[in-house]
Amino acid sequence: MRSLLWLAAVGLAVAEDGLNAWLRYARVPSASHHLGKLPSAVVTLNATQGLPVHTAGKELVDGINGLFGKKLTVGKSKGTSATVGTVGAYVDKNPSAAAGLPDLIEDGFYLKVSKGNVLILGQNERGALYGAFHYLSVIAQGNVSDFTLTSNPDAPIRWVNQWDNMQDGGTHGSVERGYGGDSIFFWDGYIRDDLTRAGQYARLLASIGINAVVANNVNANASILTPENMDGLARIADAFRPYGVQLGVSLNFAAPQLLGGLDSFDPLDKTVINWWQGIADTLYKRIPDMAGYLVKANSEGQPGPMTYNRTLADGANLFARTLQPHGGIILFRAFVYDHRSLNQTLDWKADRANAAADYFDGLDNKFEDNVAIQIKYGPIDFQVREPVSPLFAHLRKTGATVELQITQEYLGQQAHVVYLAPMWKELLDFDLRADSKPSTLKDIVAGKRFGQKLTGYAGVVNVGTNSTWLGSHLAMSNLYAYGKLAWDPELTSEGILKEWTTLTFGQDKVVHDVINKISMQSWPAYEDYSGNLGIQTLTDILLGHYGPNPGSQDGNPWGQWTRADDDTIGMDRTVWNGTGYAGQYPPEIAAMYENIETTPDNLLLWFHHVPYTQKLKSGKTVIQHFYDAHYRGSATAQTFVTLWRKLKGRIDKERYEHVLFRLVYQAGHSLVWRDSVNQFYFNKSGIPDELGRVGNHKYRIEAEAMELKGYKSYKVSPFEAASGFHCVVTETNSTVGTAKTTLKVPSGKYDLAVNYYDMALGNSTWELFVDRKLIGKWKGDLEYELGRAPSPYIDGQTATRKTFKGVKVKRGSELKIVGTPDGLEPAPIDYISVLPEGIVD
């Protein structure tokens, strides 16, 4: 590692795999010029090995050595020093200093840098470690100036949820909605023997102020509570403890029956209550500093208190009371709805969005003090745009935490770059106007608006064993931003991004400009080419939540509907004529959303059912906006590749190539999104694109129109997932297929783009020839290269593109594709585009 740091110091781009993320401690420019402004020794106050103050001292030694090449001694020094510890420990040694120290709340820290001396004091040991990480972040960005800072967290709960399963397989694999590899905690039904990555994860989280991790899936397996697995949970807690990160546990509400052998899991049954008390006591005996529980109940078929006609408060309080002797808390999810009772066809007023506020109605003052309600930011499910959940304005006595999703379940699954901080900022800054007073979401979840003490943030992260943690280097900016905003929601998206970029990639201005431009354009671009005007992410919600499938948004049992027909589209959520959802908001906001004229266009179809010809405030019709936005968004995605290529040689090759591969893929898949959604609504509405683009692709040659041998035409479902509603597949799984055509373009150089389907049923091989010359050969192995959900189908999820640039062709040249199937994957091809250089069809 030291040799790598030396190479970085002399300006070479050193290969990195992403494991250290923003804690690389890479040598800063002109490091030797700053040595006099740095401490020469580290003094830790009352440090115990394995606890955060000791860790803080070690981080300071390692960080300053890595960043500046200066080796600090440990203990008192005649020169300058960095002193780190708790306020209490410092005042014990310096009683007269107490009057000059600021007030700190739990986890807060005080940091003073003066002439090479550094004082880092935490309200507790965790706060001291946070202060050390903050100091290292500041100097890693090249700032060695004197400064004084008092920093307190905006909210006490700053948790991470991991949706890790006890074992691989099943519907969701090792990590549900995880795209960065297998679980770092569990394997084959048990806790892993090697928890090195768990400790590394805790280190990253501590550096951004996260104080607890729920390691197992909210869809919990009751076996997490076997004695052997409780021993394993204690080992996870041991790995977390040096970084001040506490362990939380997700529970299966029916565990007394599933695991305990009881005939009931009724939360008011004394036998059930005693069983759960025994579980809490046993866990805390193993893990005295356990944070508490996370519970999902009566949602998506999960068991819960309503199974016995009990209230959600009855269920939450069951666990809360077992935790109270130990100081633990429970986060009880508001994601409660019964998909079995939703019927789009029979009930115009049926609306999953209503569920949370309805189910919690009248319960605000019924919860124990150590209960917080964990509420998804919007009322449906982590869509590319949703209104803020009205439930935040309903809970005045019980604290709320906002649930954000770092893993990009509906937002490209880390195969598409989407920087989420701008979306989160928009949500946190939204004013719900409770009682006609300022009531921003950030103030509600900080406890400032209604005065609750137990409030904060819960982020669904879902890291895995991939060295990039999330499956993509750029996606880590979202984890960094989540921690920073949970600590201080007043920070700006661009400011957070700049800091992350410096710590992750260095100070090169070109690198900063490129990453800033890609990142800040990424959410608007993704919204444009996936689903806009509040229609939700038009993905396949019945399968992997990844590729385009707008038809799946209606007629499903999950309540994610658009009510699109031949003439109209959108959910009517008004009080006067619709589901009544708008009326769940405080009066000022309810009035805004009730009226189509005052509803923002970007949420129009969330709240209103309108004709495709409805005019927006821009003057465009809804359908033309769809067409234009999808073309605009996909065009923006093409620019990401060009921008990133400017960084060749400016960052290490490993990360450069990793990101480039994904951006090239995203550029191609954004076209799949664009064409699928536009074609679907063109067919449904019958209204043509005013610019004549939709369904007209002059550079394309449909595979089914080529001369086929060993290939046959195949009707794709959903139809819009193929350019001409058909693709070609090999006649059998052992037949090599050939598709060829004679080119009629003028002689010259062209970019040849092949759109094909990479199914997770094998690894087909394709070869592209022009006049018998091999232009390229590739394998269908994206299920190994990208972390996104695999699919066995020929659809918008598996559709992708391979482009060969600058190929010389002549008028009359023969273009041929040879597809070799593998396993059950029949080497499917959609079309070939022969593009003038620089043109994207």
Annotated catalytic residue: which of 107, 182, 351, 381?
381
Angle at 311 between CA 307 and CA 313, to 5 degrees: 130
Q: What single-letter amino acid sits at 520?
A: M
Q: How far apart are CA 699 and CA 669, in angstroms?
A: 18
* Residues 827/724, Cβ–Cβ less than 8 Å: no
- Using CA atoms in the order 427, 433, 435, 437, what is the torsion angle rounded to 10 degrees? 110
Question: Which distant-in-sequence residues (6+ apart) come within 8 Å of 642 by Cβ?
Answer: none
CA 333, distance to chain mean position in Å, is 18
- Are the beta carbons of 764 and 837 closer than 8 angstroms? no
Q: Give counts: helices (H), strands (E), the chain.
A: 21, 29
Q: Of 92, 103, 231, 300, which is the active-site residue?
A: 300
Here the tokens at position 755 are 């759109």
Estimate the crossing angle of helix 509-530 against helix 493-505, to 10 degrees.
130
Q: How far apart are CA 830 and CA 798, in angstroms?
A: 11
Measured in degrees and rounded to the nearest 5, phi and psi for residue 664 equal: -65, -45
Asked if omega into 718 is within 30° of 0 (cis), the reply is yes
Q: For residues 245, 250, 251 and 253, what is the CA-based torsion angle, rounded to 10 degrees?
A: 140
Phi/psi at 338 (5° precision) = -110, 100
Closest CA to 532 of 595, 623, 430: 623
| Token reading at 273 | 């209550």
Which residue do the tokens 């041998």 mark?
709
Q: Which helix or strand (DSSP H or E) is residue 284 part of?
A: helix 270-286
Residue 314 in tokens: 């009855």
DSSP states along 662-727: HHHHHHHHHHHHHHHHHHHHHHHH-PPPTTS-TT--TTEEEGGGSEEESEEEEE-SSGGGSTTSEE
Tokens representing 787?
A: 């972390």
| Dihedral pair phi/psi, residue 802, rounded to 5° | -125, 125
Length of the chain: 841
CA distance 289 to 211: 12
Phi-psi group of 838: left, alpha or beta (phi > 0 → left; psi -120 to 50 → alpha; rest → beta): left
Backbone φ and ψ for 442, nearest 5 degrees, come out as -65, -35
Residue 381 is among the residues annotated as catalytic for this protein: yes
| Angstrom distance (rounded) from CA 526 to CA 515 | 16
Are 121 and 97 within 8 A, CB to CB? no
409 is catalytic: yes
Separation CA 751–CA 804 (nearest Å) = 6
Q: Which residue type is seen at 557?
A: P
Does residue 16 carry a catalytic annotation?
no
- The whole-angstrom separation of Cα 576 and Cα 307 is 33
**Among residues 409, 527, 572, 795, which one is catalytic?**
409
Residues tagged active-site: 300, 381, 409
